[in-house]
Structure 1
Amino acid sequence: MNLTQQRFFGFQNTPFLWEKSLLELEQFLWTPSKLSIGEKISDTIRLGNYVERLVSYELHQHSSIQVLKENVQIISDKVTLGEIDCLLMDHKEAVHLEIAYKFYLYDATVGSDFLDHWIGPNRRDSLVLKLNKIKNKQFPLLYSKECASFLSELKLKANNIQQRTYFKAQLYIPFGTKIDFKQLNPECVCGFYMDIEQLQKFSDCKFYIPKKLDWLIEPHKDVDWLNFEQAQKRINEFHQKQSAPLCWLKQTNGEILKIFVTWWTVHTS
C-alpha cells in the first residue's frame, strides 16, 4: 500500500469528533464508501490542505453529491477575508462545508469545562478556539457582501445554503489516566501523551517518529524502528523547537501505540 493510500485509509477510519450539533455547529454526517484513492497528492502541502484533498476525493466519488466550488478565497480591496472550503449540492440541498482534521490533548489545567481542556500538542491552539473561528468567522463569511457576487454566479443565495462542518480529530489523554467523556466522541481517542521524564518507563521499547503528513497513518510494524536512546535524541531535537512529536511506540509484546511526547510538563492530578 503506497503512502497516499495509507494516509487516506487512516483518515477514513478517523471518527467524526461529535455527532449532530456542538455549540450550534452541525456535522455533515455521512458514511462514505471505503475507497482506494486513485490520485497522488503532493507531499509538499500542509496537513490541513492534504486533508481537504482527501475529503474532496471522497465527495467526488459520491453519486448524490455535486461539488460546486472548493477553496474559494473571499477578497475585499485586495485583502483576503477568508476562504470557503467547499460548496456542494447534497441531493438538492446546497451546503457550505468547512473541513477540519485536528490533534488535541486533554489538559484539565486549561480552562473551566470539558471542551476547554482540549489543546494542541504545542499549546498554541485549542478545540474551543477552532470552534469559535468556524462559528464566528468562517460561517458568517457566506453572508458577506463580498461573497454575494460569487454565489450569484452559482445561482445561489446565502439564506438557502445549509452550513455544516466536516470535523474529524485524533484525541490523546494523559498517560495513566481515564477521562469521563461529554459532548465529544470517545472513539476519537487513539493514544496518550507524556513528557520526556515519563518516557523513561518505556526504555525497553522501540520508536518511530513519522513526519507530519504521516500522522494520518494507522501504525504498522514495517518501518525503521529506533531504540530508546536514538528516539530520545530525536525527541529532544523537537523539544528544542518547542515542538511535541507524534511517535509510534512498539512494546516488547509487539503492540504498537500512538503517543505524543510533550516539551511541557504533564500534570495528571
Structure 2
Amino acid sequence: MKNNIELQYKGFLKTHNLWRNSDVFELDQFQFEAKTFSIENTQRFKEIRLGKRVEEFLSHHLKSTRKIDVIAENIQIKDNKITVGELDFLLRDKSKCIHLEVIYKFYLYDPDVKGDELSKWIGPNRKDTLVYKLQKLKDRQLPLLYSKHCKKTLGTCNLQAKDITQQVCYKAQLFLPFESNIKDISPLKNNCISGFYLSFNKIEILRNFSFYKPSKLDWLIEPHDKVDWIDFTEAKEIITGYINEERSPMVWLKDQNNNLQKCFITFW
C-alpha cells in the first residue's frame, strides 16, 4: 500500500497540465515545480475518491516545497447551514493570493461527437465531458469566490475577493482511438496523451497481450512490470463484467517484448 501511494503521487506529478497558460476558456493554469518529495506517513492519505486523493497529494507537495503558503483548503461555503460549494485551496505565493481549483480527469477522444475539437473529449463511461467541466468551472465554481456567501468565510482569513487571483490545476490523461493517426490535439497538450482505447467488440486484437487491471486510484500510476499479470482469456472474463454494467475499465497491457501501455476497453 505504501509503495502504491508513492507511485500514485509520482504519477500525479508526472501528469502534465492539460493546456498551456490560459489557452482554454481563459482559465489560467497553476504552475508548480514537479520535484518529488518523500512521503513519511502514508496514513494521512485517506481519500478513496481519485479527485480528492489528488488534492491530498497537491497539499502535501505545496507544504513540502515551502515556497507557497497554504492558507486554507477544502473550504466549505455555506448559506446558513446549507453547503453551496467549496473552494479547493487558498494559497499565498509571495505577495499574491490565489484561489485554486484542482481537477484531474481521464478523457477519450471520440471523433464521432459533433461540435468543435474540445467537445470530442469525453469520459470513459460517456457521462463526463471536458467541455461540461470547463463550463462548470467558468459558470459555477470560480464565481463562488465572489458570492455573498463566501465573503464571511474569506473574512476569517483576512482576505477579500478583489485581492485574489483565480487559477486552475487542470491535469488529465488523454486516450486516442486504437491505431489513431492523430498528430495534433491543440489547444490541448500532446504530452497528456497516455495511451489508447479500444471497443470491447474488438478486444480479440489484444489476444497476444498480458493484462493487469489497476484499481481506480492506481489509474494515476505509470505502468510497471511488478504486478500480477493475467492472460487474455482471464482478462476478457473480468472485463466482460464491467462491459455488462456499461463501464469502461482501464487496463495495463504488456506485449511479448515487455513493452507496457495503458488502455481503456470501452463498452461503446
TM-score (norm: length of structure 1): 0.95
Letter in 1 for 2:14: N
* Contact 2:28-2:167 at 8 Å conserved across structures: yes
* Contact 1:32-1:62 at 8 Å conserved across structures: no
Q: Does 1:141 align with 2:141?
A: no
CA offset at residue 78 of structure 1?
Answer: 2.6
Q: Which whole-Å CA distance do the structure 2 matches of 1:56 and 1:105 have between them?
A: 28
Unaligned runs of 5+ in 2: none
Q: Which whole-Å CA distance do the structure 1 matches of 2:86 and 2:28 have between them?
A: 19
Question: Counterpart of 2:114?
Answer: 111
Q: Which whole-Å CA distance do the structure 2 matches of 1:38 and 1:136 have between them?
A: 39
Q: Which whole-Å CA distance do the structure 2 matches of 1:197 and 1:102 have between them?
A: 25
| Structure 1 residue corresponding to 2:255, chosen from 251, 254, 263 | 251
CA offset at residue 34 of structure 1?
Answer: 2.2
Q: Which whole-Å CA distance do the structure 1 matches of 2:167 and 2:176 have between them?
A: 27
CA offset at residue 43 of structure 1?
Answer: 5.5
* Contact 2:250-2:265 at 8 Å conserved across structures: yes
Residues 174-253 of structure 1 aligned to structure 2 (within 5 Å): 174-179=177-182, 180-253=184-257
Q: Percent identity?
A: 43
Secondary structure of 1:2's partner? helix
CA offset at residue 196 of structure 1?
Answer: 1.3
Q: Does 1:81 align with 2:81?
A: no
* Contact 1:172-1:190 at 8 Å conserved across structures: yes
Letter in 2 for 1:7: Q
In structure 2, the CA distance between the partners of 1:81 and 1:59, relative to structure 1 (3 Å rule), is same
Letter in 2 for 1:200: E
Q: Does 1:28 align with 2:30?
A: yes
Q: Does 1:55 align with 2:69?
A: no
* Contact 2:45-2:56 at 8 Å conserved across structures: no
Secondary structure of 1:167's partner? strand
CA offset at residue 122 of structure 1?
Answer: 0.2
What are the superposed Cα offsets for residues 43-91 of structure 1, whole Å, 9 maximum, x if unpaired? 5521111000001011111222110110011111332211100001011
Secondary structure of 1:6's partner? helix
TM-score (norm: length of structure 2): 0.95
Number of residue pairs matched by the alignment: 264
Letter in 2 for 1:111: K
What are the superposed Cα offsets for residues 190-238 of structure 1, whole Å, 9 maximum, x if unpaired? 1000011222111111000000000011101111111101000110111
Question: Counterpart of 1:45?
Answer: 48
Q: Which whole-Å CA distance do the structure 2 matches of 1:44 and 1:113 have between them?
A: 35
Q: Root-mean-square deviation (CA), in Å?
A: 1.2
Question: Is the deviation greater in 53-62 or in 71-80?
Answer: 71-80
